[in-house]
Amino acid sequence: MEKRKNMEHTALLALSLLAGEDMYGYQMIVELARRSEHTFDMKEGTLYPILHGLEKDGAVEAYLQEAPTGRTRKYYHLTKKGAERLRTEEAAWQTYAGAVNAVLRFGAGLAPA
């Protein structure tokens, strides 16, 4: 179950990255590490199965595009269904994080925010 939860959280992060712009997989890995100050140093073997699942679910669409270097890259695009999923999962995450923070504050003897 823990592995499934981690995959859901990773999917949320991937959807969030794609909300800003279309990206290819390695670009997503680099950007996630940069934005999280390397808290999330993801491997390709973690990200690509998640992207394939999101594509299968219709949350993202993939397309091939040639890079300036001449190399063809597979880009991922957030669909309308993916944007809706992002909003839902982000709201659930905010609720969860708020509850965890409330418990931590209470445990530390602080008043709830």
Give all domains of the chain, ordered by start, each with its CATH number: 2-107 (1.10.10.10)
Strand (E) or helix (H) holding 92: helix 80-107
Contact of 58 with 79, CB cutoff 8 Å:
yes
What pTM was computed for the model?
A: 0.83
Nearest-angstrom CA–CA distance, 77 and 45 = 20
Q: What is the pLDDT, as a whole number, of residue 67?
A: 87
pLDDT of residue 19: 98
Question: Residue-wise pLDDT tens for the chain (113 aa)?
Answer: 344 545 568 999 999 999 999 999 999 999 999 999 999 999 999 999 999 999 999 999 999 999 888 999 999 999 999 999 999 999 999 999 999 989 988 876 666 55
**Residue 40 CB burial class (10 angstroms; 0-12, 13-18, ≥19):** middle
